[in-house]
Structures are given as C-alpha cells and as structure tokens.
Amino acid sequence: MASQVLVAANRGPLSYDLSADGTLDARRGGGGLVSGLSAALAQQPDALWICAALSDGDREAVRRGVSEPGVRMLDIDPAVYDDAYNGIANSVLWFTHHHLYDSPRTPVFDARFREQWQSYTAYNQAFAEALAHEAAEGARVLVQDYHLALVPGALRELRPDLRIAHFTHTPWAAPEFLDMLPGDVREQLVQGMLGADVVGFHTTAWADSFRAGARPDEERTRVAVFPLGVDADELRALAHRPEVDEKLAGLREEVAGRKTVVRVDRTELSKNILRGLLAYRELLTVHPEWRGEVVHLASAYPSRQDLEAYRSYTAAVRELADEVNAEFGTPDWQPVLVSVQDDFSRSLAAYRMADVALVNPVRDGMNLVAKEIPVVSEAGCALVLSTGAGAYEELREQALTVNPYDVSATAEALHAALAMPAAERADRTKRLAAAATALPPSAWFEAQLTALSR
Ligand code: G6P
C-alpha cells in the first residue's frame, strides 16, 4: 500500500550486526536524528521510514526479509555506499557544515573526489526512486540531513505531485565555507535542497546561513526553524528502568560522593572533547581545591571509525584523559572516568547524577544532550554550554556559556558551575528543562507536516 507520510534518512531506527553463528542482532544507533525521529514516529504508525543498509548485517537482513514494521532498508552497492557515506557525507559535507577543515591540508578536491561525488549522486537517486515508488498521490515526504541533500530536487522531477520537506540536523555552512566546494558541486547541492517546499533547521542561525548561501526564492521554498526538543515523560521513564538503576549504583560507588562533571558524546571532532579535557585539567591546576573533590564522567562512544580522522581523534581523547589521570590521580581518586562503550543506560545513569553538564561543541546542529541532562539530573545540574551548540539559542539564559576555543574560560565556567549554590542550580535546572521540552519530537514532526499542508 502506498504511504501518505514518508521519511528518508541514511540511518534507520535499528541496525543489525551479523554474528559468527549467523544470527542478526538489532541495535539502535547514536545521534540526535535517530532519537528524535524514533520518538516522533512512534506516534505515526502509518509512516514509512526509508533508510540505507549500513552494514553487512543490514544487507543480510534485507536479503532475509527481516525488518521493523514501517521501515524499508535500501541495499545500495557497498562501494557506492562507502563513497557516499564516508567519502562525501561524513568527510566533505560534515566538515564543510561544521567548519572542521584544516585549510593548509584539507580539503583536496581531486579525481577521487569526483568519483565519490558520482556515488553520492547515485545514492541520492536511489532514495529518490524508492520514495517515488512508495509514495501515495500527494503524499508528504520528510527528507533528513546532509546525506540526502540532492533528494528533494531529484524527487521533485520524478513526482511533482508530492509535498517535500528537507530537515538538516547539523549546522549549515557559513557562505565562505560553502564556497570552498567546487562551483558545480556547490550548485548541485543548493539546487537539490531547493527542490523542497520547506527547508527546515534547528535554529535561526543555521537557517540564516542557508539563506545567505542558497538565496532561496521563499515563495517557492520556505525556510523554517523547528528546534527539536525532548519528551520529558518518556526520557524520565527510560532513565528509571532497572538496568539504569543498576548502572547508577555502580557509578555512585566509583564516584564516592564527589561532585560530577558529565559529558556524553559520540567521539566526534565537532564535539570538542579534547578542549573539554584541557579545560578540566586547567580547572584542577588553577583551582586545586577541586582535587579529590570532583570526577569527570566522560562518555565518548565510538563513531565513524572507518574514517582515519575519527580514529586518531578517539585515540587522542584517550591519551589526554590518561595524561590528566597520571598528572593528578591519587590511589583513591581517578579524576577522569572515560567510557568508550556505546551504553545508553550508563549515559542515563550519568545524567541522573550530573552536578555539572559540559556541552562545549565547536559547532553543532542542536546537541540534544544539553537538553536531556537537565530533564533527568536528580539534584539539578549547572550547564556549561558553548556558543557553538544549536541549543545555545534556547538555553543560553540559564546556562554558563563559553566560547568553545577558550579553554581558560571553560575552566572558569566549570569552577563557577561546581561552586553554584544548590538552590540556584535547582532553579536554573527547572528553567532549562522547561526550555528543553518546548517542542518534543512528536510536536516537532507534526509542525513539519503542518508546514507542508499549507
Ligand atoms: C548526526 C547526524 C545524523 C547521524 C548522527 C550519527 O547527528 O545529523 O544524521 O545519524 O550524527 O552519525 P552516524 O554517521 O553514525 O549516523
């Protein structure tokens, strides 16, 4: 049966691992897109989510006809997929939108880049064709993220009857960074996006960057802001499951009554984990009164390990954490506890015991963690938040805000956050939680459907 509401995203709600004995184990991937969409689509039983097979396990699932209801995985040729996902989406487009290039060396747009761009085009075309095939007459289609920037334009060609929205979960590059792309590629990217009726972003800052670079005719393509928030009831229920209680008991034992500075991220270059550790080191140097009194719980679970830049970043995070522990640690106090496991229950347990939440990305579409921790923290937490996070727009007034490059200012903000009186912390946390839950996933999704109905 053809669908009235369709979502297209590179990542699906679940991905499968193929074990040696041939069984398939489903697991949920990290990141804001999956959290937000999974929560929103739980309220949309008839919607169809089209995603890519990410792994051999996923390809095997497609072959065996294993899938979640309401999900269709596309089995794209692995070499094409690798070029599109690792080569273009996560290298070129991610680095462009997050301003991560190190310009003396990168980017390099050469013959290999052109091959990868061909693959990216083919991968986007495969999504457009699948959507065209599955969509009912006049259906509404919500295309997600930089992986699928060419889909709106390609789908418009195939099915002019459809109403198409594109939503970007990342920042949008400032014009001078978009201009680093070869001219024809930049043009294809912009024209692909402009095939949509509505182009959505988390914040006005990213919407304005898009306007400045793409110069849309807003009679044809509306640019709109839908700041994704969290569902307080659902998140609190998740955070109070028995397995989280168990992890919490374990963490409490390790922390032994000390204060906590909590961060939870994919090990991701844009999250600025290294400068966060440098700031914590400076805190312990400049404010020695915190030695032995605080533990930094840093959960940095692996991400995109096919890319060398991510592998070396992950190694650098571990090394720096080890250095801080070697410099300050004592037999009964380990200053930093790094966890590199993708363990959602442990993260929720850390949220519950957070006294301070550290969210200091250099540039980040939203950063849902900044919204989740205040909702779940038990005694109330002070939020140290960088100006580069999308969440800054909504949370700035109740957070301690920092320039993400200013390590000394971040150290001072950590000090102020740790020293904040309990009553002020509780009061700010209440306001942070209210702002964080203003547009929960189901309302965020509905707002986009409504924008398409106009
Ligand atoms: C960001 C992107 C998402 C992506 C997530 C995790 O939040 O906006 O589209 O799913 O990172 O990255 P991954 O490459 O593992 O899907």
Where does the pLDDT of residue 184 fall: very low under 50, low under 70, confident under 90, or very high at 90 and above? very high
pLDDT number for residue 40: 95
Residue reference for tokens 């442990």? 346
Query: CB atoms < 10 A from the CB of 282, how many?
Result: 18
Q: What's the gap in Å between 94 CA and the centre of ligand 1?
A: 10
Concatenate the DSSP letters of all residues of 187-235 into one string: HHHHHHHTTSSEEEESSHHHHHHHHHHH---TTTSEEEE------HHHH
Q: Quick one: angle between helices 204-214 and 183-193, nearest 10?
A: 120
Indicate the residue type of 406: D
Are 382 and 421 in contact by the 8 Å Cβ rule? The answer is no
Helical residues (DSSP H) of 1-110, grouped into ranges: 32-41, 56-64, 78-82, 94-97
pLDDT number for residue 342: 85
Q: What's the gap in Å between 33 CA and the centre of ligand 1?
A: 6
In the chain, what is the straight-line distance between the N-terminal and C-terminal CA atoms, in Å?
Answer: 25
pLDDT number for residue 30: 86
Q: Which two tokens stand for residue 403?
A: 């320039």
Where does the pLDDT of residue 404 fall: very low under 50, low under 70, confident under 90, or very high at 90 and above? very high
**Spatial distance between the Cα atoms of 419 and 402, rounded to a whole number of angstroms:** 17
Contacts (Cβ under 8 Å, ≥6 apart) of 299: 262, 263, 264, 265, 338, 339, 343, 346, 347, 350
**Spatial distance between the Cα atoms of 304 and 151, rounded to a whole number of angstroms:** 23
Does residue 304 line the site of ligand 1, with CB under 6 A?
yes
Does residue 11 line the site of ligand 1, with CB under 6 A?
yes
What are the C-alpha distances in Å from 282 to residues 270, 277, 361, 362, 410?
Answer: 21, 9, 18, 19, 9
Are 289 and 295 in contact by the 8 Å Cβ rule? The answer is no
Q: Among 35, 93, 169, which is best to mutate for testing ligand 1, by the most ligand atoms less than 8 A from CB?
A: 169
Q: Among 92, 145, 364, which is best to mutate for testing ligand 1, by the most ligand atoms less than 8 A from CB?
A: 145
Return the residue whose CA atom lies nearest to atom 11 of ligand 1: 31
pLDDT tens-digit readout, 61-72: 999 999 899 999
Q: What percent of the chain lies above the pLDDT cut of 70?
A: 100
Q: Is the pLDDT of residue 346 over 80?
A: yes
**Spatial distance between the Cα atoms of 5 and 141, rounded to a whole number of angstroms:** 6
pLDDT number for residue 94: 98
Q: Is the pLDDT of residue 47 over 90?
A: yes
Are 362 and 99 in contact by the 8 Å Cβ rule? The answer is yes
Does residue 267 line the site of ligand 1, with CB under 6 A?
no
Q: Is the pLDDT of residue 454 over 80?
A: no
Are 411 and 280 in contact by the 8 Å Cβ rule? The answer is yes
Query: CB atoms < 10 A from the CB of 88, how many?
Result: 24
Q: What's the gap in Å between 252 CA and the centre of ligand 1?
A: 31
Within a 13 Å sphere around the CA of 407, how many CA atoms are in the beta-carbon half?
15
Does residue 145 line the site of ligand 1, with CB under 6 A?
yes
Where does the pLDDT of residue 169 fall: very low under 50, low under 70, confident under 90, or very high at 90 and above? very high
pLDDT number for residue 1: 80
pLDDT, average across residues 384-395: 98
Q: Is the pLDDT of residue 332 over 90?
A: yes
pLDDT, average across residues 121-150: 98
pLDDT number for residue 440: 98
- Cα–Cα–Cα angle for 439, 445, 451, rounded to 5 degrees: 100
Q: Which atom of ligand 1 is nearest to the CA of 365?
A: 8
Return the residue whose CA atom lies nearest to atom 7 of ligand 1: 31
Q: Which atom of ligand 1 is nearest to the CA of 32?
A: 7
pLDDT tens-digit readout, 243-296: 999 999 999 999 999 999 999 999 999 999 999 999 999 999 999 999 999 999
Are 295 and 385 in contact by the 8 Å Cβ rule? The answer is no
Decide: helix, strand or coil at residue 84: helix
**Spatial distance between the Cα atoms of 275 and 362, rounded to a whole number of angstroms:** 10
Mean pLDDT of the chain: 97
pLDDT tens-digit readout, 301-323: 999 999 999 999 999 999 999 99
Q: Which atom of ligand 1 is nearest to the CA of 169?
A: 8
DSSP H or E stretch at residue 385: strand 382-386
**Spatial distance between the Cα atoms of 263 and 150, rounded to a whole number of angstroms:** 34
**Spatial distance between the Cα atoms of 51 and 10, rounded to a whole number of angstroms:** 5
pLDDT number for residue 247: 98
Q: Is the pLDDT of residue 29 over 90?
A: no
Q: Supply the pTM of this predicted model.
A: 0.97
- For residue 374, which of 413, 342, 400 has the smallest C-alpha distance? 400
Q: What's the gap in Å between 351 CA and the centre of ligand 1?
A: 21
